């Protein structure tokens, strides 16, 4: 009994057209990444010194202390108290 080959859409994985998609995707993503870096560099000057949250100012000191320890490097850089991460963001 022969094994069934997995389906890869209209181009088999060993075709030149399939392999060409790999670098094309990387180039496309890197162009978007470059544009995001440019935007990030342009907003860097607007960074505020005052610590802030993404919610109400009424956040208690206990929660603030916890978030200061748990926040990501980016949240620390932007002086925000949050445990939000980029994981799963699209």
d(CA 44, CA 62): 29
Largest distance between two CA atoms of the chain: 69
How far lies 30's CA from each of 25, 49, 86, in Å? 8, 31, 17
What is the tens place of the pLDDT at every residue in 30-71?
888 888 888 888 888 888 888 888 877 788 899 999 999 999
pLDDT at 21: 64
pLDDT at 69: 93
Q: Do 44 and 54 form a contact (C-beta atoms < 8 A)?
A: no
Residue 16 pLDDT more than 70? no
d(CA 52, CA 57): 8
- Give the pLDDT mean for 14-40: 75
pLDDT at 5: 56
- The answer to whether the pTM exceeds 0.85 is no
């Amino acid at each position: 009994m022969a094994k069934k080959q997995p389906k890869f859409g209209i181009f088999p994985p060993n075709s030149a057209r399939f392999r060409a998609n790999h670098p094309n995707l990387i180039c496309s993503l890197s162009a978007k990444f470059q544009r995001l870096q440019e935007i990030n560099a342009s907003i860097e000057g607007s960074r505020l010194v005052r610590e802030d949250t993404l919610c109400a100012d009424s956040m208690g000191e206990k929660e603030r202390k916890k978030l200061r320890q748990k926040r990501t490097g980016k949240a620390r850089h932007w002086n925000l108290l949050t445990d939000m991460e980029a994981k799963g963001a699209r």
